[in-house]
Structure 1
């Protein structure tokens, strides 16, 4: 396929930069590796019917009560006051979440998802569903924007690494004329042999490890442990089935 007819592949490293990109003709991949999008794909992989992403805690509680759903989420890495569960993928094994609805709010990921609401399509991505994301994007043959949730608008390491992993895997199918994509790929290539060790200097690694969550971090950096594709349909994330 010639470069002129390949769809474009771009990376937005922070929600604060989203206004610089035209999302209306793109599939936007919401990336919040530690831990929202890792938890979303894990819950769906383990049989959750849907995950409803919401922007704030009060809305999470209201919708959860109306639906009899699990209310979950975090603020600054800890379970948010008023919610039943947190944002650890280990909180949602199959014997707990199968057949249920999860209403989720997080510091960064759900915020970006709502900001990108005008996108042609929205999916979520993280290392546990890396292959599902890449296979889907290649098959769709549409423009793609990899949107990093970052940390309170500051660029972070883990989302950049995942964006770089996607760029590295699918770049031959796309036109890549985006410095952020090149930077994220270079970062991923520098750390890909041991992402956990590579991440140890990162701020979010230090924040979560301070809560004793090294197992969460390791899981969230491991490819294909929950290889399902979360697709936003009517403001709900559901597992995509071809």
Structure 2
């Protein structure tokens, strides 16, 4: 599929929120990528029947909205449950028998920040390995410019988000114009790691950070393709199943 002007749409990778201002967000679909663990948890909660997810930047806002809507308040700071919130950022906290039909208000260290930064995009969706196929199929079907936006770690490039961006580039590049060195680098990294992504990730800083909290089960889940294969789309400030 092509853009309305007949040109092939572009596919770019933004490796950090600190670089987002260099990209044409207003004319692109932006995929928010925060593999460990925000976007993995978002698709898992929606896959398990959450009514919607409201992403917010601050813990205070999370608490206030949760109170107003009688919603579940959740989130983390630096990999741990944020003080004042009832739940954390593990996908295993949101099984169907708990989350179905409920509203989740979520704040995270990196992912929700990037989501709000990209607010002027044509469309915002969230991506992670658990919904890899849904993301790829949607992007190909839309035929619009795409920015794969990595949430990174406090603006520093990270391994897991870059690997996911590379996986997307690897799957769909034939449908796009990929004139972007960071996209090529991400795909190269993914091709190096793809036979054992979990093993490859052991050297990554956030793997080590989360491992200190005993969260290797979370990490393995978040690196497993298509275990929660739905498409979270941002509509009116809320993430719903597309």
TM class by smaller structure: over 0.9
Verify: 1:48 aligned to 2:50, yes or no: yes
Q: Tell me the number of residue pairs that the alignment of Structure 1 and Structure 2 aligns.
A: 240
Distance 2:217 2:2 in 1: 44
**1:25-174 map, 5 Å:** 25-174=27-176
Question: Is this contact kept in 1: 2:2–2:9, CA < 8 A?
Answer: no
What does the per-residue CA deviation read over 1:58-91, in whole Å, with 9 as the maximum and x for residues that have no partner? 0000000000000000000000000000000000
Distance 1:134 1:205 in 2: 25
Report the Cα offset of residue 2 of structure 1. 8.9
Give me the TM-score of the superposition, normalised by structure 2.
0.98
Distance 2:197 2:63 in 1: 35
Report the Cα offset of residue 5 of structure 1. 1.8
What does the per-residue CA deviation read over 1:5-61, in whole Å, with 9 as the maximum and x for residues that have no partner? 210000000000000001001000000000000000000000001000000000000
Distance 1:137 1:87 in 2: 26
Give me the TM-score of the superposition, normalised by structure 1.
0.98
> What SS does the aligned partner of 2:25 have?
coil
Q: Runs of 4+ in structure 1 displaced over 3 angstroms?
A: 1-4
Structure 2 unpaired stretches of 5+: none
Distance 2:194 2:72 in 1: 35
Report the Cα offset of residue 225 of structure 1. 0.2
Mean CA deviation greater in 230-239 or 3-12:
3-12
Distance 1:161 1:2 in 2: 26
Question: Is this contact kept in 1: 2:9–2:177, CA < 8 A?
Answer: yes
Cα separation, partners in 2 of 1:2 and 1:71, compared to 1, 3 Å: closer
Distance 1:213 1:33 in 2: 14
Distance 1:117 1:137 in 2: 18
> What SS does the aligned partner of 1:232 have?
strand
Distance 2:22 2:139 in 1: 22
Distance 1:151 1:56 in 2: 17
What does the per-residue CA deviation read over 1:200-219, in whole Å, with 9 as the maximum and x for residues that have no partner? 01000000001000000000
> What SS does the aligned partner of 1:225 have?
coil
Distance 1:55 1:236 in 2: 13
Question: Is this contact kept in 1: 2:2–2:143, CA < 8 A?
Answer: no
Match of 2:238 among 233, 236, 239: 236
> What SS does the aligned partner of 2:26 have?
coil
